[in-house]
Amino acid sequence: MEENKKRDGFGSKLGVIAAAAGSAIGLGNICRFPCELGENGGAAFLLVYLAVVTILGIPLMLSELVIGRRSQSNSVGAFKKLAPKSKWPIVGYVGVLCALLIFATYSVIAGWTLEYIYKAATNSFHGENLTLIEHEFSTFHNTGWLNVLLQAIFIFLTGFVVFKGVQNGIEKYSKILMPLLLVILIVLAIRSLTLPGAKEGLAFLFHPDFSKITGDTLVDAMGQGFFSLSLGMGALITYGSYVKKDDNLTSTAFSVMISDTLVAVLAGLVIFPAAFTFGVKPQAGMELVFDTLPMLFNQMAGGYWFCLIFFILLAIAGLTSTIALLEVVVAYLSEELHLSRKWATVIASAATLFIGIFASLSLKDGTPLTIAGLSFNDFLDFTTANIMLPLGGLLIVIFLGWRLGKTEFFDEVTNEGALKVPLKTAVFFIIRYLAPLAILVIFISGLVN
Ligand code: TRP
């Protein structure tokens, strides 16, 4: 019964793209990407990022979708089915753990978006200057338990949707809300590009200084790319298992990659011209979003509404991502441990909140919750994005290229021969040789650095 309900999966082609793009497009594009770009010197990072998502992102995404649809299983069950009596399911287990850890830190920032919806609705930025807005942000994100409460609300909302099932909630809303987010971002980018700092902002984004590319840039770009596309942890294995047998996996992967990258670049086009205009440093981290954007809205006609709609959409973009994160854990708990969907959701949400509380409280200034010189939150973020996702991605392409093999891959991407997929041989070559090598080299160069 449970099985049948899940295997109904996504209703339409567009629904699959909307849900997978919904998982990909999120705080990672609008908050994390500009931060990484700012810290890594701008345009040089953008170039490396684009190379990573094209050359490695698409093949890895396709690998995950193939593993998921072929096995019709959650991320652990998939390896059990396709490679019985082997150690491969460990990749799935690590992915489930990774989903929990990412959700724990992700929900901290997602909670902030709720506070900013409230601030926007009460028009509290109106007429404020940068100093005041900065002060508000730093006092707010230092409040501790208020953040935990907002985070708990966000986790609860996620749990509510996941418990209801994905097809009627998320698939339906993603189809409307994701395009709306895109439109708003385009309008904001246009406004931002007419500010006095536009030239500087554009130069920062598009004039690469190649001397800035180091091993770290590569590691960060790969970490960001995998994070942003929701790769390396079995999320798209899980979603892939809900895709109909006659859908085209290759074109799905391309659409998701293109829309995700578009949103990330657009976020950069909104944020950097504004940041240079108002004097927010590119290295400012989260302040780039939570200080610069309210300033931008203050300069716009209809700023009140743009501000409100923007933060609502940001929360929704976050929600379509956290749903996918939670779904990874819930699919595992319900299929492998035979828990009901309800209990699986409750347990996974409670575990997330437990870890999340430490992540949230570790962001207070002077916190004792640190590991290796980083706050617990940043430590989790770094370990998941820069270590677990690349390793997961590496093992997944090796699994597909060497264990599952060419014939099964071709069968699955061509829908047993019904579809023509012109580049399939090249993609398989990348999966088997180039991707493992590239991921390994980037990963090791990062460790050495
Ligand atoms: N891609 C999401 C974002 O950019 C974050 C994320 C990483 C994610 N891994 C995931 C979302 C797995 C869903 C599933 O915001």
pLDDT single digits (tens) 240-284: 999 999 999 999 999 999 999 999 999 999 999 999 999 999 998
CA of residue 380 to ligand 1 center, whole Å: 14
Domain locations along the chain: 2-448
**Ligand 1, residues at Cβ distance < 6 Å:** 23-24, 26-29, 102, 227-228, 230, 233, 235, 321, 324-325
- The neighbour count for residue 131, using CB atoms within 10 Å, is 9
Rounded Cα–Cα distance for residues 193 and 204 (Å): 13
| All residues at 6 or more sequence positions from 384 whose CB lies less than 8 Å from its CB, including other chains | 98, 101, 102, 105, 227
* pLDDT tens column, 37-95: 999 989 999 999 999 999 999 999 999 999 999 999 999 999 999 999 999 999 999 99
* Centre of ligand 1 from the C-alpha of residue 228, in Å: 6
pLDDT band (50, 70, 90) for residue 302:
confident
- The span from the CA of 189 to the CA of 267, in Å, is 8
How many angstroms does the Cα of residue 97 sit away from the middle of ligand 1? 14
DSSP notation for 12-62 = SHHHHHHHHHHHHSSHIIIIIHHHHHHHTTTHHHHHHHHHHIIIIIHHHHH
Give the Cα separation of 240 and 259 in Å (integer).
18
What distance in angstroms lies between residue 322's CA and the mean position of ligand 1's atoms?
A: 7
Task: Give the CATH class of 2-448.
Answer: mainly alpha
Tens-place pLDDT, residues 305-335: 989 999 998 998 999 999 999 999 999 999 9
Rounded to the nearest angstrom, the distance between the alpha carbon of 298 and the centre of ligand 1 is 30
Kindly report the pTM of this predicted structure.
0.93
Atom of ligand 1 nearest to the CA of 227: 7
C-alpha to C-alpha distance for 38 and 205, rounded to whole angstroms: 9
Please state, in angstroms and rounded to a whole number, the distance separating the CA atoms of residues 300 and 284. 23
DSSP label of 371? E
If you measure from the C-alpha of residue 256 to the centroid of ligand 1, how many angstroms do you get, rounded to a whole number?
12
Q: Which atom of ligand 1 is nearest to the CA of 33?
A: 4
Ligand 1 pocket test target in 25, 94, 102 with most atoms within 8 Å of CB: 102
- Closest ligand 1 atom, CA of 229? 1
**Looking at ligand 1, which residue's alpha carbon is closest to its atom 6?**
230
Residue 410 burial by Cβ neighbours in a 10 Å radius (0-12, 13-18, 19+): middle
CA 341 – CA 326 distance, rounded (Å): 12
* DSSP, residue by residue, 251-277: HHHHHHHHHHHHHHHHHHHHHHHHHHH
